[in-house]
Amino acid sequence: MSIQEKRPIVSIISSLLIFGIYYAIAFNIYQERVSTIAEELEFWGAIVLILVPVLMVSKIVLYVLFSIFNTIITGEKEENFLKDEFGRLIESKATKNAYCVFMIGFLLSMGSLVMGMSPLVMFSIIMLSLMVSGMVQDFSEFYYLRKGV
């Protein structure tokens, strides 16, 4: 398996870990501190906003660690794959798939509000769709690398 194929797998595993830990921490804080609806909206707004830099930094750190360990173990140097035409085509198709998944999640979250569910459900669906869309992007990259485009 090439480093380009390993990278999406590492990314999927790190997404699961980061989201799982982050959501568990957020949910604990939510149960301890939030009581009114105004607090709930403020809390979840902050949680989603903080998630973005947390996700970016942790993914960069994990990816750098992966590259270092992979180079040490296999001696294989990573090429700047997503910069050439095949890589860009794969990236654009994978991004399109991720976007579709996120839009479905976003519409479902709006649907939950229409059905009278709590903001907790809405924000949980948004966070879940963020996670799943990221994983769909990684899986799509892996799939197109293997099967071709």
Partner 1 sequence: MSGSSVSNNIRKLRFHHNEMTQKDLADKVGVTRQTIVAIEKGKYSPSLELAFRIAHTFDKPLEEVFSYQPQNNGK
Measured in whole angstroms, how far is the alpha carbon of residue 65 from the centre of its chain?
A: 18
For the CB of residue 135, give the shortest distance to partner 1 in the complex, in Å: 22
Tokens of 90: 């794969």
Contact 107, 142 (CB under 8 A): no
Looking at beta carbons only, is 39 or 84 nearer to partner 1?
84
Candidates 73, 91, 74; CA nearest to 82 is: 91
Nearer to partner 1, 58 or 95 (CB): 95
- Smaller CB separation from partner 1, 87 or 119: 87
CB of 59 to partner 1, least distance (A): 21
* Angle (deg, nearest 10), helices 119-147 and 37-74: 20
Cβ atoms of 16 and 136 closer than 8 Å:
no
Nearest distance in Å: CB 78, partner 1: 10
Least distance in angstroms from the C-beta of 83 to partner 1: 8
Residues in contact with partner 1 by the rule CB under 8 A: 2, 4, 79-81, 83-87, 89, 145, 147-149
